[in-house]
Structure 1
Amino acid sequence: MLTTPTRTLVACLLAFLVSTSLVGCGVLTALRPTASVAPLRHFESDQKAQEAAMELLPKYYAALDAVTMDGGMRPDRVYPYVTPNYRSNLNLAFEKMRNDHLKTTGLTAITRNLLIDYAEKNAGEAFVVVRLCLDLSHTRVLGAADDDETPATRLDHTAYDVSLTTSDGDANRLYVASTRARRDLGPC
């Protein structure tokens, strides 16, 4: 990245190439370099991006728990927190839950979070990845007869990478775009 003195020097050199009567950058007001506009950043810092993610994620998991407790019924409760593409994936999972007559009990708890990535993409879109440590020890999967069908291999404490992105409608609001379970527990 160019420093301010270097930017000024480059601007003067460009002005010199355009005008043979250049005495100094300050003399030609028409060629005076304007302040460069920094690209729009959705969040002031990585910490602010992480805070925005952590403002959204407890709401998302509360809505997700509510839908799964109802056996995948009324999935619209999770829609305010997810992208349209991820909504489609969730709807498939909720449909399978309904078809298999499954539901859950208990609440998912976020025990730790770690910012993995924050980047600005083309067209001013922000992208945030947070690693979550989830405590599932109080959740169970129940079958049609309310029998416990929680997989024996399910870990009570697990790590997920959650990708979030901004929306065109609200540049400072994040939406869950995907979640991916991690094989290793990392910081969890």
Structure 2
Amino acid sequence: MRILVRRILAGSAVLTALALAGCAAAPIPTWTNSPDPVVAPVFASNDEALAAAVTSYEAYGAMSNQITNEGGVNPERITDFVSDAYLAVVLGSFASVQDDGLVGSGSSAFDTVSLVRYDDDSAASASVRVYLCLDVTDVVFTDLGGNVTTPPERRNRIPLEVSLISSPSASTKLVVDKEETWPGNDFCS
């Protein structure tokens, strides 16, 4: 019996010590200089960021359609609509159209846009990611002889994840930084 009482008292002492440790004063925080001051948001809301992304992607799409429908000629016109990092990828696509002697007709469109993420990266710089459905139903490629080269089995609605970032010229003007086919469930079906 005596051993049992000692164990209960010892257990109670341990629990009391732990409880009192939780009540002890918190250590005084050490002041550190924060490298990032509070950043004012580029957009007032997620809705505003989404609207800017839609406007920017519409402008990018319009210029892309124009260049494609002219056979990839003067592709540098896309420069104001894409980031420096993405420019080489886009120019490479237009070079392929031109090298293959293809000419597009019609226009791509998009719908079903939803915001994935909006971040203020730094003062006057934002990044926005969206999901959207790119619709290329009306886009047809022909070769120089006028023969249609668009495969009949082509997917006409493509789920994309698009990343946009602030333009160096204006933080609220977004430019396309990346387009990737969404590998998950096809939300465009």
For normalisation by structure 1, the TM-score amounts to 0.74
Question: C-alpha distance in 1, partners of 2:136/2:188?
Answer: 16
Contact persistence 2:76–2:91 (CA under 8 A): no
Question: C-alpha distance in 2, partners of 1:52/1:143?
Answer: 36
Q: In the alignment, residue 174 of structure 1 is paired with which amino acid?
A: L
Q: In the alignment, residue 120 of structure 1 is paired with which amino acid?
A: D
CA RMSD of aligned residues (A): 2.3
Q: List alignment gaps of at least 5 residues for structure 1.
A: 1-12, 18-36
For normalisation by structure 2, the TM-score amounts to 0.74
Q: List alignment gaps of at least 5 residues for structure 2.
A: 1-27, 31-36
**Are 1:168 and 2:172 matched, yes or no?**
no
Cα deviation, residue 180, structure 1: 0.9
Q: Which has the higher contact order (CA 8 A, sep 6+)?
A: 2
Larger Rg: 2
Residue number in structure 2 paired with 1:39? 39
Taking only the aligned residue pairs, the percentage that are identical comes to 25
Residue number in structure 1 paired with 2:104? 104
* Number of residue equivalences: 156
Deviations 1:154-186 (A, max 9, x none): 211121111100133311211111111224421
Question: C-alpha distance in 1, partners of 2:56/2:173?
Answer: 9
Residue number in structure 2 paired with 1:155? 155
Deviations 1:96-124 (A, max 9, x none): 11111112111111222111111122465
Structure 1 segments, 4+ long, off by >6 Å, are: none
Residue number in structure 2 paired with 1:69? 69
Mapping 1:106-185, distance limit 5 Å: 106-122=106-122, 124-183=124-183, 184-185=185-186
Question: C-alpha distance in 1, partners of 2:122/2:108?
Answer: 34
Cα deviation, residue 66, structure 1: 0.5
Q: In the alignment, residue 53 of structure 1 is paired with which amino acid?
A: A
**Are 1:89 and 2:89 matched, yes or no?**
yes
Structure 1 SS opposite 2:164? strand
Residue number in structure 1 paired with 2:34? none
Structure 2 SS opposite 1:169? coil
